[in-house]
Structure 1
Amino acid sequence: MKNFALIGAAGYIAPRHMQAIKATGNDLVAALDINDSVGIIDSHFPNAEFFTEFERFDRHVDKLRRADDNRKINYVSICSPNYLHDSHMRFALRSGADAICEKPLVLNPWNIDGLLDIEKDTGHKVNTILQLRVHPSIVALRERVKQGAKNGKHDVDLTYITSRGHWYLQSWKGDLKKSGGIATNIGVHFFDMLHFIFGELQGNVVHHSSDTKAAGFLEYEKARVRWFLSVDFEDVPEAQRNAGQRTFRSITVDGDEIEFSGGFTDLHTRSYEEILAGRGFGLEENRTAIATVAEIRNAAIAPLVGDYHPFLKK
């Protein structure tokens, strides 16, 4: 049994990490969040120590590190706001633990270089949650692409709309400097997936960028991709809106829909299993996706000519 600490226990994604820690037979011994709405802990680890101040959490983790018994923290799971991931991974490594960090790993690719240095100094490792890399449908698609004999590149449309209320832009998620913007906050794992399936990125054009949506065109070794990401309910197609749905997710490859909606709730547990077996995705696996979203964030907006996502016609 490994001992875990969790940073960001009140966040949206934290319960999936708690479930994964429990499902893999391990123990959460300490948790941190500046907000104290963390009753979900009782469903998983009621004996975990909880802190609302980082300084006290830091002291507790350090005391466990110095104890001559089996209480030392082995892993720190990081579910904090995006802009804090870099600092919290550094804390984990310097505390004698490995890190398991939610996406996006960092906001800019050069942050990866500093973390590589700290890994080397401490002998500990950063792991990241790139859950789509372990999704059975995505793994199968990657194998088909690798073995396929298609002449030329695949034509791909990626559409992801996950409606959010007015709170979204008032939270840290609506602050570009803290979240990295829409493409980073809700899209980085999709861009990693595209790189994972279709190879190295060769071109990156942005056609639209605002607080609530972004769209563009990406060219990979084996694919040409039109993409559209949004948190605006009005972008959900009419048929889905009329059916009461607030989310729309679609990936088509050469006109064929790739079904990958199911199984998302189990992917964190699968990711933890791989990490605990020494097969986690590390810093370098993140570089292409982080560079992609950083370029999107800073790109000039291109006119709507050539290949662009059909949702932009609205």
Structure 2
Amino acid sequence: MRYALIGAAGYIAPRHMRAIKETDGQLVSAFDPNDSVGIIDSHFPDARFFTEFERFDRHIDKLNRRGDAINFVSVCSPNYLHDAHCRFGLRSGADVICEKPMVLNPWNVDGLCEMEEVTGRRIYSILQLRLHPAIISLKKKIEQDADKIHDVDLSYITSRGRWYQVSWKGDVHKSGGVATNIGVHFYDMLGFLFGKCLRNVVHLRNEHHAGGYLEFKRARVRWFLSVDSRDLPESVQGKLSTYRSITVDGREIEFSGGFTDLHTESYRSILSGEGFGLDQVRPSIEIVSQIRDISLAPKSEDAHFLSRRYL
């Protein structure tokens, strides 16, 4: 398979390059306005690279017209550009593999559905937690008692320095805010495990934190997200920069490891015809869009214990 990659200088791009290589693909062309892309040499040193989108667009068009078309466009650009870059991939006659969040709002999903119909191509999202062995095992256990309503606590703290708020990630209009930027795959995971989201309450929402309460068909979920290192538990302060915890009915589910290979597994799934498309993406996009826009609820017993210190 022949690939083009948009957003080659970003944090997540090396995982896509590795996934392309480990699934025997070829990265033909890459684009990023930032030229700090030496990582390409570790994977595809012969790939063409562009810092101007217009020249990248022209190159992809030339490849198409001479019979060397791209099969996939991998999108690793800032969140607010995913929609436009997915459209570019479809118009170029390629299928698209897009990092999460695929888009920022549900109506963007509607537009991409129309583009799929017009072009006959597909868009796939990286929803890697659905492929994590611990999550798959948990899903099987939940399905054994389909009538039970579970109590869930989710905490995710990933330290970010002062640069974070200066970058596009600190701009809610570009990243979607904390809940969208670092949390969308967790909301997808919760829907994957517990079914349709029935209620969405937000207690905390600022540039560093978000917290709230979600009711799914088979779960009541208290959640807390943070990019502030001061929220890390004392047991990991100074040792780790990231802390993930999910408890189901008081039992801790260990899924801290096993993340680094999941992009490759995602690519394998897509290449085998089992990737996650727009229908699977929509529920989590609806959740994060609501979290961004709904009014904050007053402090209540439903608030996550880590949120309460900020309420």
TM-score range, shorter chain: over 0.9
- 1:41 corresponds to 2:40: yes
Q: Which residue of 1 aligns with 2:63?
A: 64
Counterpart residue identity of residue 226, structure 1:
R
CA-to-partner distance for each residue in 1:243-269, whole Å, 9 max, x for gaps?
Answer: 522211100000111011111000000
Q: Once the two structures are superposed, what CA deviation does each residue of 1:95-123 show, in whole Å capped at 9, x if it has no partner?
A: 00000000001000011111111101111
Q: Give the residue type in structure 2 aligned to 1:112.
A: V
Which residue in the other structure is 1:302 paired with?
A: 297
Runs (5+) with no aligned partner, structure 1: none
Q: Partner residue of 2:183?
A: 187
1:268 to 263, 266, 279: 263
- Matches of residues 215-294 of structure 1 in structure 2 within 5 Å? 215-241=211-237, 243-294=238-289
Structure-1 separation of matches of 2:224 and 2:253: 16
DSSP-derived class of the 1:240 partner: coil
SS at match of 2:269: helix
CA RMSD of superposed structures (Å): 0.9
Q: Which residue of 2 aligns with 1:176?
A: 172
Residue 115 (structure 1) aligns with = 112
* Residue in structure 2 matched with residue 78 of structure 1 by the alignment: 75
Aligned with 1:137 (options 106, 109, 134): 134
3-state secondary structure, aligned to 2:236: helix
- SS class of match (1:216): strand
Partner Cα separation in structure 2 for residue 239 and residue 194 of structure 1: 26
Length, aligned pairs only: 309
In the TM superposition, what is the alpha-carbon distance from 1:313 to its structure 2 partner? 3.0
Q: Quick one: distance in 2 between partners of 1:272 and 1:152?
A: 34
Give the Cα separation in 1 of the matches to 2:15 and 2:92: 24
CA distance in 1, matches of 2:177, 2:139: 28
In the TM superposition, residue 152 of structure 1 has moved relative to its aligned partner by 4.0
Q: Secondary structure at the match of 1:83?
A: helix
- The secondary structure found in structure 1 opposite 2:235 is helix
Q: How does 1:194-213 map to 2 (within 5 A)?
A: 194-213=190-209
Q: What is the match of residue 161 of structure 1?
A: 157
Structure 1 residue ranges, 4+ long, deviating more than 2 angstroms after superposition: none
Q: CA deviation at 1:63?
A: 0.4
What is the aligned counterpart of 2:143 among 136, 143, 146? 146
1:24 is matched with which residue?
A: 23
Tell me by how many angstroms 1:238 deviates.
1.6
Cα deviations by residue, 1:19-60 (Å, 9 ceiling, x for unpaired): 000000010000000000000000000000000000000000
TM-score, structure 2 length as denominator? 0.98
1-structure distance, mates of 2:301, 2:234: 26
The structure-2 alpha-carbon separation of the partners of 1:152 and 1:278, relative to structure 1 and needing over 3 Å to count, comes to: closer
Secondary structure at the aligned position of 1:310 is classed as: coil
Amino acid at match of 1:205: V
C-alpha deviations, 1:205-248, integer Å up to 9, x for none?
0000000110000000000000000000111112211x522211
Of 99, 103, 109 in structure 2, the residue corresponding to residue 102 of structure 1 is: 99
Q: Which residue of 2 aligns with 1:93?
A: 90
Unaligned 5+ residue runs, structure 2?
none
Secondary structure of the residue that 1:238 maps to in structure 2? coil
CA distance in 1, matches of 2:60, 2:103: 23
Find the residue that maps to 1:265 and give its secondary structure.
coil
TM-score between the two structures when normalised by the length of structure 1:
0.97
